[in-house]
Structure 1
């Protein structure tokens, strides 16, 4: 795709998300609360909670905050009653979008997500309308310059499914969601730090947008990510490097 750099897109997206870190702790606390309620308060026996804990640590959240969120989830304290909700839709140019939320009011959240789509050139779809275009998996993205051999050895020994390098020299590690904690731990033990990692919905095919369409699509993604109930937004869109 002319003008399309995977790493330019990753850095662009990461930079925009970093600029919104004021809301990051709130989102992570909700994630911890839901994980603790679903699987218990022990991160050693609750992989989802372990992932949320690691995310909180990476975001420099104090341990006291983490433990309070776990206590709320495991004990149902403070009246918190968050549940998960997924919304699927189409953005500009037919680009696929998945919006994962934690909410204490599904009616409010659905209305806010629908409004974001309709006001920014997209439309909310039905459950399953775009999910088939994505793969649920653990993903680690390493910037160009890392040792593919070292990454491959650590990742595959820990249960990763695949290690792939791209034309720019970047390296991607894919694993089953349940293997993510073990692979992350193995990579860290080998002194390897991914640029981006997590359990994600990975797009199976990409839609490239340029010019005004790219700007409109970026606005839609920004509006969705700014909603209080939104945890993650996944899309198959990539932007021309000029954007």
Structure 2
């Protein structure tokens, strides 16, 4: 069986995001808008907004853009009204897929998502059809060759839920959604800044796929990522590292 690697998946997504810097800014802008609209414009009392600002800083988004998005959300400037919606379905081979979208036109968005599923041999499902297979949590990722003992000691002291060492030597620190920011800050303070850190939806059980099916699935997931209203795409596929090559 081909080797499987979460680190390969992370690198694949980062390369795709770097190639679409403008779209990354659009997604962060929408996240800033929704976070500020729901919880107010003060990041000290709004954890979701604080997380969105962290994303903006990591992507080198101009400070003026961040402040403008927050002001539009809080009514200080005129802005667009966005709605969050999650679509659930299955890709070919029974792989569960979640597509988180932020849109100002739900009819347009559902049409585009439904077309993507049918075009790639999948099926769009009903609310709750696959969501139960995923948990929202924080993941801090370290490249193969990182100091396992140091990371484990610091992570557990910071309040992380678990530390996983993958077959390829990469390391994942798992946190609850609520503790994510405090754990990231503690790891940085310990001079153990992660190579990648995010709030994500992680499947409770995974479906192994072949290299060929993995390549087809990646094409489908990339297609979904490219839709204008897409924020995040998740699946429960365990994709072989060779599929990313």
Which residue number corresponds to residue 10 of structure 2? 10
Distance 1:39 1:186, change over 3 A: same
Deviation of 1:135 (Å): 1.3
SS at match of 2:216: helix
Q: How does the TM-score come out when normalised to structure 2?
A: 0.93
2:145 matched to which residue of 1? 145
Q: What is the aligned length?
A: 243
- The answer for the alignment partner of 1:193 in structure 2 is 193
Counterpart CA distance in 2 for 1:145 and 1:211 is 25
| Shift >6 Å, 4+ stretches | none
Q: 2:179 corresponds to which residue? A: 179
1:44 and 2:44 aligned:
yes
Which string of whole-angstrom CA distances, capped at 9 and with x for unpartnered residues, describes residues 143-165 of structure 1?
12222232223322232111122
1:1-243 mapped onto 2 (5 Å cutoff): 1-75=1-75, 77-243=77-243
Deviation, structure 1 residue 212: 4.1
1:39–1:46 CA contact under 8 A, matched in 2: yes
Maintained 8 Å contact 1:121/1:220: no
Partner Cα distance (1:182, 1:94) in 2: 36
Tell me, which stretches of 5 or more residues in structure 1 are unaligned? Answer: none
Unaligned stretches of 5+ in structure 2? none
Task: State the distance in 1 between where 2:167 and 2:214 align.
Answer: 23
TM-aligned CA distance change 1:211 to 1:5, over 3 Å: closer
Task: Answer whether contact 2:163 2:173 (CA < 8 A) is retained.
Answer: yes
After superposing the two structures, state which structure 1 stretch, 20-29 or 71-80, moved more.
71-80
Q: Is the 2:2–2:242 Cα contact (8 Å) retained in structure 1?
A: no
SS in structure 2 of the partner of residue 93 of structure 1: coil
Shift of 1:68: 0.6
Give RMSD over aligned pairs.
1.7
Instruction: Tell me how far apart the structure 2 counterparts of residues 119 and 32 of structure 1 sit (CA, whole Å).
Output: 32
How far did residue 191 of structure 1 move?
Answer: 1.4
Counterparts of 2:87 and 2:19, CA distance in 1: 24
Offset of 1:211 from its aligned partner? 4.6
Q: CA deviation at 1:13?
A: 3.1
